[in-house]
């Protein structure tokens, strides 16, 4: 399997997760649902997967040299629901470095290797 195929497989995996989470939102959650029992809320799970998907698309597009202009990176956002702002909090900055790597891990080798170089500069990456 080529690195590009692995990356596509990772994108497909995130899309499948979002479909499952969306289905859960419509079928499992109702007026009698006990939200306190959830370790991580559905809205945070959806946010994590959406942020990961957008970051993966930007990263992969940069890798392929697929943008006319360099896109801006997605601003880092908070995963704390008990606040009104989505700005990353100081208490999350250490954890955010791990989150950033986790968000791109689904791209496989493209998410980690040659991340700052465009695809056409690495013909050996095609396999």
Q: CA–CA distance from 117 to each of 5, 62, 125 (Å)?
A: 18, 8, 11
Q: How far apart are CA 99 and CA 96, in angstroms?
A: 5
Question: Which tens digit of pLDDT belongs to each residue from 53-108?
Answer: 999 998 888 888 888 888 888 889 999 888 888 898 888 988 998 898 888 888 88
Q: What domain range includes position 83? A: 3-126
Phi/psi at 38 (5° precision) = -75, 130
Give 115's contacts (C-beta < 8 A, 6+ positions apart).
59, 63, 104
Residue where the block lists tokens 């500069």: 121
Q: How far apart are CA 99 and CA 76, in angstroms?
A: 10
Q: How far apart are CA 119 and CA 63, in angstroms?
A: 5
- The tally of domains found in the chain comes to 1
Question: Which tens digit of pLDDT belongs to each residue from 16-65?
Answer: 999 999 999 888 888 888 888 888 899 999 999 999 999 999 888 888 88
């Amino acid at each position: 399997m080529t690195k590009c195929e692995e990356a596509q497989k990772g994108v497909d995996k995130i899309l499948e997760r979002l479909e499952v989470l969306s289905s859960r939102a419509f079928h499992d959650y109702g007026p009698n649902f006990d939200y306190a029992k959830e370790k991580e809320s559905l809205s945070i799970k959806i946010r994590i997967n959406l942020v990961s998907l957008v970051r993966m698309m930007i990263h992969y597009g940069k890798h392929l040299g697929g943008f006319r202009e360099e896109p801006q990176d997605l601003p880092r956002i908070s995963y704390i629901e008990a606040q009104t702002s989505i700005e990353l909090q100081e208490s999350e900055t250490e954890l955010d470095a791990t989150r950033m790597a986790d968000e791109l891990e689904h791209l496989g080798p493209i998410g980690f290797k040659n991340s700052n170089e465009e695809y056409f500069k690495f013909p050996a990456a095609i396999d």
